[in-house]
Chain A
Amino acid sequence: MLMILGKPAPLLFGQLLLGIINGSFYAMLSLGLAIIFGLLNVINFAHGALFMVGAFVTWGLLHYLGIGYWPAMVLAPVMVGAFGLGLERTLIRFTYKLDILYGLLLTFGLALVLQGLFTNAYGSSGVSYSAPDLLSGTLNLGFMYLPVYRGFVVAAAIIICVAVWFVIEKTSLGALLRASTENPALVQAFGVNVPRVIALTFAAGVALAGLAGVLAAPLYSVNPGMGTDLINTVFAVVVIGGMGSIGGAILTGFGLGIIQGFTEVYYPAASSVVVFAVMAVVLLARPAGLFGRAA
């Protein structure tokens, strides 16, 4: 058997793949958090819960309406995004004038409500969802077996992240967003409806969480706690990367997933805490985060 750095290759690559998959979700979720924070100055603690809602919507579409995975990939993010739009208009917008911590507390409460409602409806063990036929099975890559769906998740996550980065950094829509972040009053004076931009940005960030939920549905058990478990790590990722740059959020997400994968191979006991250890080191060496501006 091929050995790399003292470990059998299939084990190493298998864990590395799991790490990259975790990293995909860290990247997609921290990206949404960064976009929302940039414009709304609100850290969305309900992000993990909305990711969970995305997964449940995917399951519900199939279970109740017989709508399969591919249409769900469009429908679920749209539905979660619309829900987010409603939340922004009815609740979150009232926190903009307040201390930044109230937005956090409000979304924290929202997360509790969503998680409680889904636990009531589906129990804490949740439901299961299988990958579409096209993406089931495994691929023999020679050095390891790749479950097709996992490969698909990584590819999809990379495409999504690059697309979001492109829209924000390279298009006129992105320029408008960045301008509204820099100086909302001036952008408003140019005739742009800034409150509408803010609401749609929140909806888009939340839709991204919903889309991540769709990708996660066949991978993990769809349960009410799935978002909370993930989002705690994502917050550490956000602290490490800083919320200053979109590219930084993506790189940090994937990077930490990979570090976690390697830790799983060489020192499994530390794999669940390695992200937090990295966070502590970064705080000591670069308090503003790897890509963050001092604040």
Chain B
Amino acid sequence: MMFGFTRAQAIGFVVMAAILAVAPFVAYPIFVMQVMCFALFAMGANLLMGYTGLLSLGQAAFFGMGGYVAGYMIQTMHASTEVGLILGGLTAAAIGVVFGWLAIRRQTIYFAMITLALAQLVYFFAVQDTGFTGGENGIQNIPRGNLFGSFSLHNDLQLYWLVFAVFIAGFLFVHRVIHSPFGQVVKAIRENESRAISLGYKVEQYKWVIFVLAAALGGIAGGLNALVVRIATLTDVGNATSGLVVLMVLVGGIGTVFGPLVGAAIVVAMQYYLASFSDWVTVIQGVIFIACVLAFRRGVAGEVASWLKLSL
């Protein structure tokens, strides 16, 4: 099958695409767009968590910087939308090259703590009001600009198709990566790192590439999200967002194909519908973390898959 889909995954993909194509006409488009942005972000995190066995607690650095760069380029430099998004992704990837280079020197919990600490550096940079990130205020009223300098994205529905196209492209790309020979080696590293080393694979380089890919996906997702909500703030680059994306992967199903989207939908929906309970949202998220770890480690997609005896 193309892109390495199994039959069940191909059906799942078509159903997913169909639902997302109808969604803006039945649901609030901004909400669905945010779900797709966070799903793209979570797919990157899932590459690390699910397929490489590396838990990063600093993914918000990439998401936030992607948003800042895209917002700044489109608002201040009057760049065309796609240029802003691509530069956001490239900036995140460049940061990912440096952070990954440092972080892959340690494993498991140390890796998690290093990514958390490095993301803190980006946060401190964003807090300074340098005229780029806007400090406490962030970048406000980001114009959505024009695609290729000519197609207006002002209307929610017009932007929706851009987000939809980027999400589908990202989904297929990630799936292709996972099911490539490269992806097989990555999974082998997760299963048994010493064995992979003894087989002659340069384990560090594989981890590094995955880290940079996850960063780039985070950057593009952050840029898109900044266009959707039209602001880029410290929240996007803060620790809470890093925790949120880990929660999405965990709830959706670590190492599953559809998990990130399912997890993003659940977590973003919680943010929307429980917004009036303000700080209770944090408590509920914490409880879900605990419940997932103790009783629900396969996540939604993983549970459904095992129930249907399929790989989703």
Contact = CB atoms under 8 A, between A and B. Distances in A.
Listed residue (A114, A239, A295) with the most chain B CB atoms within 10 angstroms of its CB: A239
Contacts of A100: 108-109
A279 B114 contact: yes
Contacts of B9: none
A112 B243 contact: yes
B117 interface: yes
Given A106-B293, A112-B285, A273 B124 contact: yes
Contacts of B110: 239
Contact of A119 (B57, B282, B288): B282
A91 B105 contact: no
Contact of B120 (A37, A43, A111, A232): A232
Interface in B259-312: 279-290, 292-294, 297
Interface in A98-126: 98, 100-102, 104-106, 108-117, 119-120
A276 interface: yes
A105 B293 contact: yes
A260 interface: no
B106 to A, nearest CB: 6
Interface stretch (A56-64, A69-77, A170-178, A280-288): A280-288
B63 to A, nearest CB: 18
Contacts, number: 115
A105 B299 CA distance: 14
Q: How large is the interface on A (under 10, 10 to 19, 20 to 34, 35 or more residues)?
A: 35 or more
B246 interface: yes
Contact of B106 (A105, A111, A113, A287): A287
Contacts of B241: none
Given A104-B112, A239-B113, A116 B124 contact: no
A109 B250 CA distance: 12
A94 B110 CA distance: 22
Nearest to A43: B109
A199 interface: no
Contacts of B55: 101, 104-105
Closest 9 CB pairs of A and B: A109-B289, A112-B286, A116-B282, A113-B286, A116-B283, A235-B113, A236-B117, A287-B105, A109-B290
Interface of A: 37, 43, 91, 94-95, 98, 100-102, 104-106, 108-117, 119-120, 228, 232-233, 235-236, 238-239, 272-273, 275-276, 279-280, 283-284, 287, 295
